[in-house]
Every structure is written in C-alpha cells, then in structure tokens.
Structure 1
Amino acid sequence: MTKDLFGRHRAVLPDWLALYYEDPLEITHGEGRHVWDAAGNKYLDFFGGILTTMTAHALPEVTKAVSEQAGRIIHSSTLYLNRPMVELAERVAHVSGIPDARVFFTTSGTEANDTALLLATAHRRSNTILAMRNSYHGRSFSSVGITGNRGWSPTSLSPLQTLYVHGGVRTRGPYAHLDDRDFIDACVEDLKDLLGHTRPPAALIAEPVQGVGGFTSPPDGLYAAFREVLHERGILWIADEVQTGWGRTGEHFWGWQAHGRSGPPDIVTFAKGIGNGMSVGGVIARAEIMNCLDANSISTFGGTQVTMAAGLANLTYLLEHDLQGNARRVGGMLIERLRAVAARVPHVREVRGRGLMIGIELARPGTDEAAPEAASTVLEEARAGGLLIGKGGGHGTSVLRVAPPMSLTVAEAEEGAAILERALRSI
C-alpha cells in the first residue's frame, strides 16, 4: 500500500519535494511522543514534523480547542474582527519582550520571514540585507534569496542584495581556532569591515541557532555585539525564531535571549511549534516598524480562528507545564548521554545543542570532511530501531537533528539515546 502511494506521489508531485528513507514512510497517527506508520509500526518521534509538533502528538487540550472552534467557525479572513487572533496576539506580544509590540499572523515561517523582510526594507528604504552564512529562512523567492545554505537555495536571483556575515558556525571557518571572546571580536571586525564597503543595509536576519544548518550557533553574546554595531548605524535586527522559539533551547524562552544584553531584536519571526502542528507563523515588531507600510494589506489564511485556537491552547499548556524547564532538564541529560556515546564512535565530529535542539555532526574519521552517507545510514538504522530523527547541515547534510516534542520524558530520552547509540555504531 505504501509503495503504491509512493508511486502516486512521484507521478503528481515535484521531483524536488524531498522524502526521507529509501522506503518512504507514511505516518498515519500519533500520540504523545510516538507515531505509527501505515503498516502499524510504532516509532519514538525525535523530530516532530521538523520541530512543529512541539508539545505532543494529539495533545487533548489542543485537539479539543480545535474541534470546538471548528464547530463554531473556521475562517473569516482578517477583514473581520477575530477574537482568538486578538487574544493570541496579546499573549505573544506579552512574552515577546519587545516594547509596544504588534503581531501579524501568517501561515508559515517562510511567510513570516518574507513579511519581516518587507517591513525592514520599507522602514529603512534599502533592499540590502545582512544574513549569516549557513543560514536557512524559507522557500519563497525572497527568503531563498537570503538563505546562506547552498543545498536549500535553488536560484541566485533575488529582489534583495544579500551580504553574508561570519559567525553562525562556531567550529568551522577562518575563526574556528579562536577562543570565544576572540571569535566574537573577529566576527565583529569582519562585520564593521563589510559595512564600510556597502550602502547602509536594512537589517541583519539571523537564527540564534541555525536549524537546517545543523543546529549550529555562535558563542553567547555574538548577536549582542553585532547589535551594538548595527544600532549605531540604524540597521535593524531580525531574529528568526521559527525553530528556536517558545522555550525549546531550555535556557531561554527565545533564542535571542542568549545574546540579550543589548535588549530584544527589532523584529522577531516565529512559526512551527506555536500551533503544535497547525499552520501558524507570525511576526512581532515595534509599532513604528510594523505600521510603516503605506498600502493596504490583509492575510486570507493567516490568523484563522481555528489555528489561533490551537495556538492559544498550546501556548497555555506549554507555560502551565513549564515545558521550557523540561527541555532544559531532559535535553541536558540527553546531550550528555549522546556525547558519551559519540566518544566511542569515530565518525562523530561533534555533539552540540541546547535543550531539546541537538545536532550530531558526522565526518570521515580523522578529518573534518562531511560524511552524508554515514548520516543516511544512521537515519535508516534509527528508523529500523523505532526512532525518527532528522538531517541537516551546510556541509553535505551530515548532521543528525534531534528535536523531540518538549514534553519528552526521561525514560523516552533514554530509550531514544539507546536506539541512536546502536544506529551510530552501525557505521
């Protein structure tokens, strides 16, 4: 049955629509941290639909809120007052840390970043954008144009002039040998030098932890140091929190808070986990920036009543059950467990991450050369052992991405680590 579906998939969908596994998987249902496929096999889910099922599969509080709202009205567009949208915007503005915040809801992280770029370029009257090397910001024309990861950038055409900055990857590149303080200083000097050779940019867009790039991040404080340079020149800072937001890193509610001495970003984008699987994204910005557009705009599907109901229920559950604290505790234990495993596997170059956002970078033993074939082997072996994980990385897709729902238990973390250990030893 699955092979028949695979054939139908290939007959009507684009070749570039990537699928995991040699024998692709059809997930039919889920509960908690587990999912089942069409053959009835059960898996521990350590990827959550690319970090989107943030809280749990079939979370009763969210499914109940969606069902009840769907029984009343699902959609009316932003042309009418929408109580669930206003209520969620109030909650998001409150937790954002941005003064006088305004919130605009979209259907995805791509659309959120697209909107942030529109706001920044209109506010600053500049189409130049600073972005990080190894970054990923979505699949629209403008967001592809600022993505610094060759594997996810199918065209060099763009409405924007993009300049790429050092710093998103700590253990590769020309500054990798430096200690953290010197690394930050070198990146700041590189930024200053770059700004001396170009017209004033509109903004820097940066993921506090690069998601598709393999869960890489700079030393804490880099973006605070960047912010000081940017602020002097009136350049905006956009924090792409599509994957890091809502407490996933454990130590902070937002990824930017690891760099927080300079205060919040000018613009924050979010998506993925806030809807726990429902299609919700958005932009938070100071009122002067959000309100800078001088033409009408609406969102047909952004902020629909049913997705806002899901977001409200999910955010409430996340806060009331301290899932950020759980990500810190269980994620910290899982990282240490995986580092102990990695010490005995020559292919593992590095285990890195924060909270429940963990990357395992594979390389050919004794080198820094990426080993994408090893990553594919581990992905298949983990599935065979009953565990779903992801892949990423800017050097040949050789990073295993581990990002379970944030309600993960200690027992489930141990179970997943044991399966990963066997899978890693298989290479």
Structure 2
Amino acid sequence: MRTQVAIIGAGPAGLLLGQLLHVAGIDNVIVERQTGDYVLGRIRAGVLEQVTMDLLKKAGVDARAHAEGLPHHGIELLFQGQRHRIDMHAHTHGRQVMVYGQTEVTRDLMEARAAAGLTTIYGAANVSLHDFDGERPRVRYEKDGATHELECDFIAGCDGYHGVSRASVPASAVKLYEKVYPFGWLGMLADVPPVSDELIYCNTPRGFALCSMRSRTRSRYYVQVPVEEKVENWSDDAFWNELRLRLDPEGRERLVTGPALEKSIAPLRSFVAEPMRFGRLFLAGDAAHIVPPTGAKGLNLAASDVGYLYQALERFYGERSSSALDRYSDLCLRRIWKAERFSWWFTSLMHRFPDTGDFGQKIQEAELDYLVHSPAAATSLSENYVGLPLESF
C-alpha cells in the first residue's frame, strides 16, 4: 500500500491531521495499535482554545461542538475560602474557550473520516518506522496474522508519549526536558449538574481542586493527591467528602453528588522533546510534549502542532517547497515552551507542594491576591488561558 502521509495514532491529533489533509486533497492513512472503541473510550480534558475551534471548522467538524459545547468567558479562582472571577472575555478583547469533551472531538473526527471513506487501520500490532531519514519512508505493521508495509512520502507521529514514533528516533538525535510533579489528580466523572457555570480552580491548605464539566448535566471534578495514591483507596463518598472540604460555603451548598462514571488518577509532568522533525518523520502532540492539565493546554497544543504540519504539507504538495516543513519544529517549539511555562506557573501557583509550608502558602495567596486585583496580571493569565495565536510561516 502507498499513501502520501502515513499518520501514526488515531487520537484527536492524528484524526484532525488526517481530516485537514483530506480537505486539502492530500492522501493519508492512519495506523493505530488500539481498537476504535478503545480510542473512543479514553476520558480526557475538554477546554478548547479558539485556535482549536478554528482548525475543527477548517476540517469541517465543528458543527456539534458549536451546538452542544459551552462557551466560557471566564474562570473562578478560589483561595482563602473565597472565589474571585477572572473575566477572560474582557481582558482579551472578546476571546473565549469552548468546553467540549475530547471524547466528543474524537467521535466527530472518527465519523467524518468514516463518512469520507478514508483508511484507518485499527489493531495494528508491532508497528515500526523505517527509512524516514531518506526519501522513501515506510511503516510496517502486523494485522490479521500478516505483515503489511505502507510506503509514504512523510510520517506524522501522533501516537502519544508512549508511542513508537519518538522511540524510533536515535537517542543521540533528540534532547529531552522533563519535570515530574510530586502529586497527581484524582478525577471523577459523574452525571450531575456542575457546581458552577464556569470552572473553579481551588487553592486550599488541603491541596488543589478543580470543578469542571463536560455539559450542563455531566461534571468532571479533580482533587490533588500524593503521587503514590491508589484510586481503589477512594470510594465515591470519600471523594465527595474531600471535594467539599476544598470548596467555599456556596460551592458546598450547590454541590450535587452521584455515582462515578469513571474515576482515575493522572500523574502530572512537564515534558518536551527537541527537535520535532527527523528527516521525513514529524512528531506532533503528546509524542513531543506533555503539560500538566492545570492550564488546559494538552489537546490544544496537539491541535496547534497539527495546524502547523498541515499547512507545511499543503505548501509542499501545492508549491513543491519544503521551506515551511523546515520551520515546523522551530515554530511549534516556540509555542510549546510558552504553554509549558504557563502550565508550570499555574500548577505551581495552585497546588500544595510537600515543601510549601505555611510561608509558601502565604506567598501563593499573596500572588493570587495580586492576580485578581491587577488588570495587567489578569490580562496575562487570560491571554495564556484562551490561547496564544498561531505564528505564520
């Protein structure tokens, strides 16, 4: 089999790239080691920047997000037992974010790909990448007891942190930057109405908490826990009781509880791999970078990578120019490091670290107090939260 672009990974990054390339008339095949049901069953975040929404529109898959998503103009910061609203809409001249679950983004992209009759190979075992340092890259995989080979012009590695794409690069060719945080997020998804119309980020002496949602009837809540904590130690009642202790009186009064649809613990890390291009192999999304979820940047960074890569490939096939492909890694990394900085800062501001102590807690509260009373500080947070614009090639 032959295609122009082989995409490794059928998560939202790979699917979005495939759909954008299809719209541009560029042939592509997606190779995914898991089943479609497994991919669709992943529970992930759901705060979309305007850049991401614009790319979904360009791909022709934004209708349901606009119909069912929840536009958010601000967030609330809770500290010292009181809530303070940051009006992001006002501080960014009318920009906003859209709350729409990553699972739903994946579903929309899957359905669009199926409707277009595009090839996605699910359940591909022992995927391996070959000759991407030359002009004829190949992807080899096993399916239904046979070995298959896919020839292509380019390979897009959209297969996540643990995927084969980055692992295929010689260790000497890539530099890794990583920070591992000493805590995780215990998250619960439940079919209960959200405690607030906007997200509440909580800084408390007991640790961080986040009140989020997927819709007006489905909520997603998180509490900070030690990194070694086990999800089986937390009953539904234990989770709700701990969340109450981290909320303000109004939040406790409005909190509606119910059985968990899903419960899990996510470790937090900051991670970047440089560069993001190796010959004709291009990394995108979690294959190249991870951010703590505090700033809601993971999916949005993946989407911006895909936006850059799609434009570069479109120029290559339309103008027979590789100049945009040559700039792909540098442009992505400029944006990535800004998002890494923001996510690290917001995580450091909102969480209780083992060595925070009373002094550290007071410093956090002083910075939060400055943040909610300084238009300049609130503007900086708002600009980063709603998403910085894409640079042009």
- TM-score band, normalised by the shorter chain? under 0.3
TM-score of the two chains, using structure 2 as the length reference: 0.22
